[in-house]
Structure 1
């Protein structure tokens, strides 16, 4: 599967949006309730710009260095989502380098929540929207709080981080998709528990789940935010290693 050209990526995005609409109809939801994050990891600014020019505004990146390099080259009304593992020492470069960062979807412990809260305050920027990442697949290689800890972390963010806006939960799930329904059910259960504990209406608590291979199923199971990369952009392009 070759990388998609700018025009092909635009067509691919349109196809994704049609599939989002169809999935929404199947579960009697409005397509406008579903946010499509175009995950542009390893992709050039020119391709992102093409999708922007076609009308899309929501993009996601996994690495701080990439989004810090790309964001200044693109329009300021893009809604950037950071969806990768975030280390404390990268928080200030991220928030300083991307003033239009809208979401951090990967808050997985109190330490990173505290750091984000403090840096947002120090920069004098408006509260940052965050999602609590939950490890629904139980894999040691995955970031995220255990499902049993999601209520405590969500409570910590809402009670101790005035510069963060808790907006919901996020999961990645298993990459082979064998446990996708269970992962999604687990995140939905976590939302129910968080909303009951914090007194939040479930419709005010987002579920970020679903990627290129399973976003339609995720929508049918309640996702409000799908993160789609390869179906739109083609496979990721990593630099070839030399001199091993």
Structure 2
């Protein structure tokens, strides 16, 4: 009789993450099934992504275009792919052409990239692409994202001028050391309140994407409906394999 297969460390880590997501959701009074976990697999091999896929997970994220377009065609078509972070406008059509099952771009941080994505979707004849507007809630000069004060203006632009994009919510990337994430997360939540009031929509129609490996539980407790978890699932990243975006 064959010995049972040993569960990979990534699959075991995923199971632990999902338990922690459920517990954080329960603490905040939210429903765990309403929190999306994006398994961010940048620098990780296709084989490891496949292990997590075979365990039942379907939502994955990448943020280097060159790496993304090489890996995605090697994996099942029912994966819900997310592009996470700043996307160069001249790479929009390349990404959309190579990854037809790209479900969301997290996030759009200026009108130029919104226009390029809109035109790329139109030229490829694909369904509207979901996008999150990225807000720089920490004020770091090195970080992409629109200033909180300009968030509503960019959201209105996407909704009124980009018919091939579906505005789905807001996202932010917190401080690297997580020391100021409560303030970061609260700022994004405040932006959502402003956006929903101006657009006349329910807050449930505007996602909040905040929280990564080190702070996703706190992010969920503060209202995040989308968390991006990489190293906690896949292990430390090998940045010697980093590809240019």
Q: TM-score range by the shorter chain?
A: over 0.9
- For 1:138 and 1:6, the matched residues in 2 are separated by 41
Query: Are residue 181 (structure 1) and residue 182 (structure 2) matched?
Result: yes
- For 1:202 and 1:238, the matched residues in 2 are separated by 37
Partner of residue 148, structure 2:
147
1:156-201 C-alpha deviation (Å, 9 max, x unpaired): 0011100000000000011011110000000000000011111121
State the 1:238 CA deviation.
2.3
Partner of residue 172, structure 1:
173
Partner of residue 137, structure 1:
138
- For 1:6 and 1:202, the matched residues in 2 are separated by 39
Query: Are residue 214 (structure 1) and residue 215 (structure 2) matched?
Result: yes
Q: Is the alpha carbon distance of 1:66 and 1:240 closer, same or farther for their aligned partners in structure 2, counting shifts above 3 Å?
A: closer
CA contact (8 A) 2:43 2:241 kept: no
Deviant stretches of 4+, over 6 Å: none
1:36-76 C-alpha deviation (Å, 9 max, x unpaired): 00000100000000110000000000111111011100000
Partner of residue 206, structure 2:
205
CA contact (8 A) 1:9 1:232 kept: yes
- For 2:188 and 2:7, the matched residues in 1 are separated by 34
Secondary structure of the structure 1 residue equivalent to 2:151: helix
1:36-55 to structure 2, matched below 5 A, reads: 36-55=37-56
Secondary structure of the structure 2 residue equivalent to 1:71: helix
- For 1:173 and 1:136, the matched residues in 2 are separated by 7
Secondary structure of the structure 2 residue equivalent to 1:165: strand
- For 2:64 and 2:7, the matched residues in 1 are separated by 22
Bigger drift between 156-165 and 231-240 goes to 231-240
Normalised by the length of structure 1, the TM-score is 0.95
Secondary structure of the structure 2 residue equivalent to 1:92: helix
- Provide the alpha-carbon RMSD of the alignment: 1.3
Q: Which runs of 5+ in 2 are unaligned?
A: 1-5
- For 1:166 and 1:92, the matched residues in 2 are separated by 19
Secondary structure of the structure 1 residue equivalent to 2:195: helix
- State the number of aligned residues: 237
CA contact (8 A) 1:154 1:166 kept: yes
Partner of residue 126, structure 1:
127
1:193-243 C-alpha deviation (Å, 9 max, x unpaired): 0111111210010000000000000000000000000000110012289xx
- For 1:150 and 1:87, the matched residues in 2 are separated by 19
- For 1:135 and 1:28, the matched residues in 2 are separated by 27
State the 1:85 CA deviation.
1.2
- For 1:123 and 1:62, the matched residues in 2 are separated by 21
1:89-108 to structure 2, matched below 5 A, reads: 89-108=90-109
